[in-house]
């Protein structure tokens, strides 16, 4: 991994999906079926740079966030709390009594059936949740909120509504046509006292291009935002205002992950107490100074940003000030220490015997769910040997599977995994013999992993066939080997030199592999595509301002002076002819000159055709033609 880089992703159905942050920008990897309807393509994923994203999406008058009238209604509702809580004084005392740094906001993430329908599987949905949380975690951890540092996020609970839940009457998000305010209200009507924030992800096309909505936090005076408890309001309903919603659709188009990540950070910023940025200092994108304008606006700008500007992933000083006040007041009430085990997230962590999730999702007869009292939750029930949440070698009847029952499929370099009859976890698979060919015969197995080059099977070293004079360009995407410590012997597996090892059989690299001494990559047609790290703008700059270009032009002019002279004379004659021809059609203020001649094809004012039309008819006809031109 490159110094200063960050990679986050998930492997879903054997394919990596996520993002890679480098000093050259962020690269995104997604399944190809999200962009191409033709599934018969020879590749399964697409990778693109953040600068390659085309933004056809419109973000409505509110710019991806609700307009001011919606926020005004939300503010009035937040101020309508009917029960005054005394928690604030208790929180301050607790904060003074403890020295443990509590800097982690625990999240409850729900997804509706439309989100599941778009991503098609639980694994893909979880990967999206993980990607969004990781993205905002990097932004908030990298921000100093006036002395409050290392703010992080952790998913405490996930609820995935599948397509079958569309018919479930207990599912509040089952209806197709729900406005953005109502959608947020449905989330707020649930009790979220156990969480710092609770969000719902959806794939809905809200009116006016709204991408997200959330309650704005405040240090005092109104309800809403992080750590807010379920309370009774003036409409007679109890609600949790520590909530927000996010959609990944905008005007019938899928929102790129980068935009969606910033939208999530923006809405969470509202929960943390930041209103929209205002003022020249905090909206540099509106500045008349080109230098400031090019840096772009900050995360809490009122309209959605593309995410490719310097400031797009940062909080302004206005936001930092507002957020720090809310964190100082509220974080002690629900933030937790980082790295603590979470009962209910489905992962068996230190201190837990099992973890089957919460009562609404736990189908395990062996384990107490996370809704149970502290002395029982995430523990095995009496007389139960194991729980399926511990591993694949535990039966639903809470007993270990027998010896030699399969728990892991066979891979290229390892035999299938077999239970041992004494543990719920699947033992390590027996590795296949070292130097077994794998990865399309381009590599070999070493200690159960496909990690060595096929060259190692014959005591050779792997090398890259570089482009040199007299060398076949088609070999650039071949697997090449050389004798140990002798680069001059680097040859293709199909070459005469290596015929005794490979019998002149050409072995090609996998698509996407580096080639030509790491100067390019192999495409699906086994052609080495050279990569210019400087990009098209740098190439254009070099082409225009290359001193050698001007030297060549000067040498040509000296050698062909007569041609330059002829071209100059021809240009002068062309301009003179143009002026002569056009001058007779040009009106003049000189009364002594004849009137201008009409251009060919124009109707003369004295034409009989115009005399057939009355004046009012002519006006209408002219207007009618103008409408067609608009």
Binding residue ranges: 266, 270, 276
pLDDT band at 271 (very low <50, low <70, confident <90, very high): very high
- 61 pLDDT above the threshold of 50: no
pLDDT for residue 32: 78
- 342 pLDDT above the threshold of 60: yes
3-state helix, strand, coil in the chain (%, to 5): 30, 20, 50
Lowest mean per-residue pLDDT among 113-122, 381-390, 510-519: 510-519
- Across the chain, mean pLDDT equals 81
pLDDT for residue 234: 80
- 93 pLDDT above the threshold of 60: no
Q: What are 146-173's pLDDT values in tens digits? A: 999 999 998 888 888 988 888 888 899 9
**What value does the mean pLDDT take over residues 242-256?**
88
Binding residue ranges for Zn(2+): 266, 270, 276
CA-based nearest residue to 226, from 188, 168, 271? 271
**What value does the mean pLDDT take over residues 254-271?**
90
pLDDT band at 39 (very low <50, low <70, confident <90, very high): low
- More confident site: 591 or 368: 368
> CA separation (Å) from 6 to 24, 31, 358?
12, 20, 32
- 472 pLDDT above the threshold of 90: no
**What value does the mean pLDDT take over residues 122-137?**
88
- 73 pLDDT above the threshold of 80: no
- 459 pLDDT above the threshold of 70: yes
- 300 pLDDT above the threshold of 80: yes
- More confident site: 540 or 145: 145
**What percentage of the chain has pLDDT greater than the value 70?**
79
Residue 199: is it exposed, middle or buried by C-beta count within 10 angstroms (0-12/13-18/19+)? buried
**What value does the mean pLDDT take over residues 341-347?**
82
- In the three-class reduction of DSSP (H, G, I as helix; E, B as strand; rest coil), residue 290 is classed as helix
pLDDT for residue 301: 87
pLDDT band at 79 (very low <50, low <70, confident <90, very high): low
Lowest mean per-residue pLDDT among 83-92, 317-326, 550-559, 563-572: 83-92
- 381 pLDDT above the threshold of 70: yes
Q: Which residue has the tokens 């790491």?
A: 518
> CA separation (Å) from 432 to 407, 408, 435, 438?
17, 14, 9, 11
**What percentage of the chain has pLDDT greater than the value 90?**
38
pLDDT band at 357 (very low <50, low <70, confident <90, very high): confident
Lowest mean per-residue pLDDT among 28-42, 86-100, 105-119: 86-100
pLDDT band at 360 (very low <50, low <70, confident <90, very high): confident
pLDDT band at 622 (very low <50, low <70, confident <90, very high): very low
Q: What are 539-577's pLDDT values in tens digits? A: 555 566 667 777 888 888 888 889 889 999 999 999 988
Structure-token pair, residue 163: 């397509």
CA-based nearest residue to 115, from 205, 47, 13? 205
pLDDT for residue 464: 80
Residue 305: is it exposed, middle or buried by C-beta count within 10 angstroms (0-12/13-18/19+)? buried
pLDDT band at 600 (very low <50, low <70, confident <90, very high): low
pLDDT for residue 63: 46
CA-based nearest residue to 261, from 175, 390, 138? 138
What's the rounded Cα separation, in Å, for the pair 384 and 354? 11
Task: Verify whether residue 405 is a known catalytic residue.
Answer: no
**What value does the mean pLDDT take over residues 494-520?**
84
State the DSSP H helix or E strand holding residue 461, giving kind and residue range, or none if neither.
strand 461-463
Lowest mean per-residue pLDDT among 286-300, 417-431, 450-464: 286-300
List the catalytic residue out of 30, 228, 267, 352: 267
Helices (runs of H) and strands (runs of E) counted in the chain: 14, 24
**What value does the mean pLDDT take over residues 411-428?**
92
Q: Which residue has the tokens 């225009």?
A: 544
pLDDT band at 303 (very low <50, low <70, confident <90, very high): confident
CA-based nearest residue to 358, from 349, 571, 564, 367? 367
CA-based nearest residue to 263, from 248, 280, 243? 248
pLDDT band at 615 (very low <50, low <70, confident <90, very high): very low
pLDDT band at 630 (very low <50, low <70, confident <90, very high): very low
**What value does the mean pLDDT take over residues 119-145?**
90
**What value does the mean pLDDT take over residues 52-58?**
54
pLDDT for residue 623: 32
- More confident site: 58 or 490: 490
């Amino acid at each position: 991994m490159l110094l200063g880089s960050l990679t986050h992703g998930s492997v879903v159905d054997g394919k990596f999906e996520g993002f890679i942050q480098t000093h050259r920008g962020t690269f995104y990897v997604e399944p190809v079926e999200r962009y191409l309807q033709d599934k018969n393509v020879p590749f399964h994923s697409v990778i693109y740079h953040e600068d390659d994203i085309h933004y056809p999406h419109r973000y409505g008058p509110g710019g991806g966030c609700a307009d001011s009238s919606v926020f005004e209604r939300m503010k009035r509702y937040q101020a309508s709390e009917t029960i005054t809580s005394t928690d604030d004084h208790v929180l301050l005392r607790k904060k003074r009594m403890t020295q443990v740094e509590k800097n982690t906001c625990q999240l409850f993430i729900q997804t509706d059936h439309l989100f599941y329908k778009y991503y098609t599987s639980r694994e893909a949905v979880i990967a999206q949740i993980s990607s969004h949380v990781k993205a905002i975690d990097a932004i908030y951890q990298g921000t100093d909120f006036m002395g409050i540092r290392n703010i992080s996020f952790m998913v405490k609970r996930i609820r995935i509504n599948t397509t079958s839940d569309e018919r479930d009457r207990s599912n509040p998000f089952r209806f197709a046509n729900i406005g953005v305010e109502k959608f947020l209200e449905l989330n707020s009507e649930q009790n979220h006292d156990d969480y710092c924030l609770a969000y719902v992800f959806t794939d809905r096309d809200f009116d006016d291009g709204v991408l997200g909505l959330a309650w704005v936090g405040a240090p005092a005076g109104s309800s809403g935002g992080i750590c807010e408890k379920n309370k009774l309001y003036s409409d007679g309903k109890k609600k949790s205002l520590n909530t927000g919603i996010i959609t990944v659709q905008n005007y019938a188009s899928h929102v790129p992950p980068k935009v969606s990540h910033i939208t999530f950070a923006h809405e969470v910023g509202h929960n943390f107490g930041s209103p929209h940025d205002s003022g020249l200092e905090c909206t540099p994108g509106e500045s008349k100074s080109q230098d400031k304008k090019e840096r772009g606006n900050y995360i809490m700008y009122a309209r959605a940003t593309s995410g490719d500007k310097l400031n797009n992933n940062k909080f302004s000083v206005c936001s930092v000030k507002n957020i720090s006040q809310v964190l100082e007041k509220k974080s002690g009430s629900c933030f937790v220490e980082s790295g603590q085990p979470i009962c209910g997230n489905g992962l068996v962590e230190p201190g837990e015997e099992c973890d089957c999730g919460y009562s609404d999702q736990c189908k395990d007869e062996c384990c107490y769910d996370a809704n149970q009292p502290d002395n029982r939750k995430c523990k095995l029930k009496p007389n139960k040997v194991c729980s399926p949440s511990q591993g694949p070698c535990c039966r639903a009847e809470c007993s270990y599977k027998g010896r030699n029952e399969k728990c892991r499929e066979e891979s290229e370099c390892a035999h299938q995994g077999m239970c041992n009859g004494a543990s719920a976890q699947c033992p390590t698979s027996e590795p296949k013999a070292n130097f077994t060919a794998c990865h399309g015969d381009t590599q070999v197995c070493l200690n159960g992993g496909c990690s060595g080059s096929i060259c190692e099977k014959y005591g050779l070293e792997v090398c890259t066939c570089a482009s040199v004079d007299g060398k076949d360009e088609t070999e650039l995407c071949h697997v090449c080997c050389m004798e140990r410590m002798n680069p001059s012997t680097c040859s293709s597996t199909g070459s005469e030199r290596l015929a005794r090892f490979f019998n002149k059989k050409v072995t090609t690299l996998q698509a996407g592999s580096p080639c030509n001494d790491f100067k390019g990559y192999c495409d699906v047609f086994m052609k080495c595509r050279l990569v210019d790290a400087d990009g098209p703008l740098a190439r254009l700059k070099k082409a225009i301002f290359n001193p050698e270009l001007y030297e060549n032009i000067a040498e040509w002019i000296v050698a062909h002076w007569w041609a330059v002279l002829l071209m100059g004379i021809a240009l002068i004659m062309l301009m003179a002819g143009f002026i002569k021809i056009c001058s007779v059609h040009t009106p003049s203020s000189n009364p002594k000159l004849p009137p201008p001649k009409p251009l060919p094809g124009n109707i003369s004012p004295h034409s009989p055709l115009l005399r057939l039309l009355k004046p009012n008819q002519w006006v209408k006809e002219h207007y009618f033609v103008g409408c067609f031109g608009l």
